[in-house]
Chains A and B, each alone.
Chain A
Amino acid sequence: MRVLVTTQQGQLLEVRVNADDAAGTEATATESETASAPNPIAPEGKELIWGAGSFLVFLVLMRVYLFPKLKKGMDARYTSIREDFEQADATRQAAQSDVAKYEAALADVRAEAAGRIDAARQTVDAERNAKIAETNSKIAAKRAAADAELAAARAKVRDQVAEAVSTVTARTTQLAVGKSPDGSVVREAVQQVMQSGAR
Chain B
Amino acid sequence: MEALTRIARAGIRVAELTAAEEKANSAAQMAGLAYGLAAIGPGVGIGIIFGKAIESMARQPESAGMVRTTMFLGVAFTEALALIGFVAFILLKFA
Contacts and interface: CB of A to CB of B under 8 A. Distances in A.
A34 B90 contact: no
Given A3-B10, A7-B10, A34 B17 contact: yes
A39 B94 contact: yes
B87 A41 contact: yes
A163 B67 CA distance: 128
B6 interface: yes
A15 interface: yes
B9 A39 contact: no
B91 to A, nearest CB: 6
B13 interface: yes
Given A13-B6, A15-B7, A29-B21, A5 B90 contact: no
B41 to A, nearest CB: 22
A22 interface: no
Interface string B84-95: 000100110011
B10 A13 contact: yes
A3 B14 contact: yes
Q: Which 5 pairs, one residue from A and one from B, show the smallest C-beta to C-beta distance?
A: A5-B10, A39-B95, A40-B94, A7-B6, A15-B10
Interface of A: 3, 5-8, 13, 15, 29, 31, 33-35, 37, 39-41
